[in-house]
Amino acid sequence: MTTLHGDWNFPTSIRFGAGRLAELPQACVELGMRRPLLVTDPGLARLDIVAQARAFLREAGLGDALFSDVEGNPVDTNLQAGLAAFRSGDHDGVVAMGGGSSLDVGKAIALMDGQTLPWWEFEDIGDNYTKANAAGIRPIVAVPTTSGTGSEVGRCSVIIHSEQGRKVVVFHPRMMPSKVVADPALTVGLPAKLTAAVGMDALSHNLEAFLALSYHPMADGIALEAIRLIHDWLEVAVREPTNIEARSAMMVASTAGATSFQKGLGAMHALSHPVSVKYGTHHGLTNGVVMPFVLEHNRSVIETRIEVLARHMGLADPTFEAFLGWVVTLRSNIGIPHSLADLGVSEADIPELSPQAASDYTASGNPLPVDATSLAELYDRTIRGELRFA
């Protein structure tokens, strides 16, 4: 087997390979950090992998300061507490370690330390990012421990506005971590259910990016190969948690997803975001539930693209029906629920959810234009689990 190990700059500097967590201090020093704050979530904070990271930092003379008040769907109070910890400790950089929530909060802390305006002023609308003092953004090293969001190479952070009850996306080019330590061995302890959920998140990112109508051939190529990797390896990673080749493939696919979705996202994410805010559901799990329903809804404008994708994946029957069948079978095999009703969503919630989905920033990228009415119909079919092809 070829050694899965490499140093990449695509789009940021990535140290990839099992065992490379040991290089975390070097990555920090290369960015001029002397007192980094390690940001993670409370569950990870209790695990050996975080203790090991802190030991590496401590032994290198960088301290072992930790902040872990991060929720699964992070809220503004998490950011406020993290920023207070950063400033009180006189820190000069962030090590963001974990899944998407920890990485997003870590990136947000690094952005906000040098700002005078509140976080919401930088929401990803128009050129709001130019309001930020770019020189005040602190350096970031990202250490992903799941294979789903790809936030380690993202230029955005998603935080829930607790008063408004919505996810707010803030973008800034310098919020992309300058260094990434991508060690697939860190994902070996991920439970099967979480491996499945984050894997569906990676699939949704690459799939919606590939199907977006905007022109970006480079993103298309990245998404194509990432989906092939997911096809070949996600079930293996769920079934064989210590299979490092499967874990490596899924970590690559996750990072690829956040690289490719600069091309666009769509209704999978637009439907998922309000549900995650209202019910606290896992983002990747929710994307996985709505995926086949959105694909079916978009069929008239994506069928040719899906056939290209199916051929690249090596499906014996490279058709839309075969691809959709693969998605449904994959979900069943790895334990993803079939309907939003399985996540507790009821038809009575549709009048509240559909306008939120229509106003979500991802809705405009859907290949087939959507509005509150069409999204309400999609919610209805997804809650009832009604797939027309089945």
- The whole-number pLDDT of residue 371 equals 97
Interior CA angle at 154 toward 153 and 159, to 5°? 135
The reported pLDDT for the residue numbered 279 is 93
| Fold for the domain defined by 191-384 | Dehydroquinate synthase-like, alpha domain (1.20.1090)
For the domain made up of 5-186, give the CATH fold: Rossmann fold (3.40.50)
Q: Is a pLDDT exceeding 70 seen at residue 354? A: yes
pLDDT of residue 2: 55
Structure tokens at 321: 């029906």
Half-sphere exposure of 125 (CA within 13 A, CB side): 9
Contact 367, 298 (CB under 8 A): yes
For the packed helices 244-260 and 217-239, what is the interaxial angle rounded to 10 degrees?
150
Measure the CA–CA gap between 181 and 20, rounded to whole angstroms: 7
Q: Please list the residue range(s) of the chain that carry CATH number 3.40.50.1970.
A: 5-186
Residue pair 251/146 in contact by the 8 Å Cβ criterion: no
| 179 backbone dihedrals φ, ψ, rounded to 5° | -135, 140
Cα gap 171→166, rounded to integer Å: 16
DSSP single-letter state for residue 150:
-
* pLDDT confidence of residue 4: 74
What's the CA gap between 287 and 285, in Å, rounded? 5
pLDDT digits (tens, 9 = 90+) for 280-335: 999 999 999 999 999 999 999 999 999 999 999 999 999 999 999 999 999 999 99
> Within 10 Å of residue 188's Cβ, how many Cβ atoms?
16
Query: With contact defined as beta carbons under 8 Å apart, do 167 and 362 qualify?
Result: no
User: Tokens 């290209």 map to which residue?
Assistant: 308
Q: Are 95 and 38 in contact (CB under 8 A)?
A: yes
For the chain, helix (H) and strand (E) counts, in that order, are 14, 9
Q: Tens of pLDDT along 50-67? A: 999 999 999 999 999 999
Please compute the mean of the pLDDT values over residues 74-101 and round it to a whole number.
Answer: 96
Inter-residue contact 74 to 168 (CB < 8 Å)? no
Beta strands at 66-67 and 93-98: parallel, antiparallel or unpaired = unpaired
User: Does residue 1 have a pLDDT over 70?
Assistant: no
Cα dihedral value 130, 355, 70, 204, nearest 10: -90
Q: pLDDT tens digits for 173-218?
A: 999 999 999 999 999 988 999 999 999 999 999 999 999 999 999 9
For 88-175, strand residue ranges (E) read 93-98, 140-144, 156-161, 166-171
Question: Does residue 12 contact residue 153 with C-beta atoms inside 8 Å?
Answer: yes
Read off the pLDDT of residues 103-117 as tens digits, 9 standing for 90 and up.
999 999 999 999 999
Burial of residue 189 (number of CB atoms within 10 Å: 0-12, 13-18, 19+) = middle
Strand runs (DSSP E) across the chain, as ranges?
Answer: 5-9, 13-17, 36-39, 66-67, 93-98, 140-144, 156-161, 166-171, 179-182
pLDDT confidence of 388, banded at 50, 70, 90? confident
SS3 253: helix
pLDDT at 6 over 80: no
pLDDT at position 275 over 90? yes
Q: What is the pLDDT of residues 143-164, one digit of tens each?
A: 999 998 898 998 999 999 988 9
Length of the chain, in residues: 390
Cβ proximity of 56 and 113 under 8 Å: no
pLDDT digits (tens, 9 = 90+) for 34-54: 999 999 999 999 999 999 999
pLDDT, the chain, mean: 95
Distance CA 385, CA 286 (A): 13
Q: Rounded mean pLDDT of 355-373? A: 96
pLDDT at 227 over 90: yes
Confidence (pLDDT) at 8: 61
CATH 1.20.1090.10 maps onto the chain at 191-384
pTM score, whole prediction: 0.90
CA dihedral 200, 201, 204, 209 (to 10 degrees): -150
